[in-house]
Structure 1
């Protein structure tokens, strides 16, 4: 990976919006008739935690998290430009999203992807995500694959039992 830079931003970022537009076009082809169903759950307005990956100052990938519950963040809008795939960019974006989720107090990440995105499923499984029952709006949707990963939350050392030095 030459000169990969990850920036933390929000859904207002113009490069993020351009990448999401490419993602939506890709998903429209993959999902066909089901695309309209999924599109309603993929609005990017007011997402506060967005990562944009730049390679040689060009935006090449993105991802976002948003609160799903008090303890879980949902991974959304993961995408790497086709010309930049197979370089570990998606894994880097995902790792940074998980780090950020931990920093803001989440102990797990959930996500939904589709059976027509085998490379995404492989990425998430390699990163430690496990397939779970479909949640929320994806219950009963045959094409949906929902996944969960417990995050390594920082351990807070309990020092109450330690004897202070004299």
Structure 2
């Protein structure tokens, strides 16, 4: 049986940074040169609202959020390693991020993903996220798909 640990942490910890490096490589492999546009939007200032999920002491999944408005957070950098996909880690991660956001007083989440990330589109829809018009800085970027969810 797998030992699963969910850890609330910071975006500066090495395990989070390792997974983000893998995420960036995965996005570049999937999307090619269009990532030249998105790379700048994916850079994060240090955040104390990051989550890493471990399976048998190995980091396999991550995500974080940052303040978007007075009552909303923006979910960023959601990633699951290939060997952990299809095991429910993304739903576990999103639940943890949403719970944490509500614990500190936020009422809504927003996020952006790419039109080619079919797994992500399916995940967010299955979790009750509703598509919204693209918000800054994604306005006018045809490969961006933006979502929001009320947490209360």
TM-score category by the smaller chain? over 0.9
Q: Which residue of 2 aligns with 1:30?
A: 30
Q: Distance in 1 between matches of 2:125 and 2:2?
A: 25
Structure with larger Rg: 1
Number of residues paired by the alignment? 152
**SS of the counterpart of 1:8?**
strand
Root mean square deviation, CA, Å: 1.0
Mapped to 2, the partners of 1:39 and 1:11 lie a distance apart of 17
The normalised TM-score by structure 1 is 0.89
Equivalent in the alignment of 1:5: 5
The within-5 A match list for 1:73-152 is 73-152=73-152
Tell me the CA shift for residue 44 of structure 1: 2.8
Question: Structure 2 regions of 5+ residues with no counterpart?
Answer: none
Tell me the distance in 2 between the aligned counterparts of 1:46 and 1:70. 19
Question: Is 1:56 paired with 2:52?
Answer: no
Q: TM-score, normalised by structure 2?
A: 0.97
Higher deviation after alignment, 42-51 or 122-131: 42-51
Give SS of 1:137's match.
coil
Which runs of 5 or more structure 1 residues have no equivalent in the other structure? Answer: 153-166
**Residues in 1 aligned to 2:119 and 2:6: alpha-carbon distance in whole angstroms:** 21
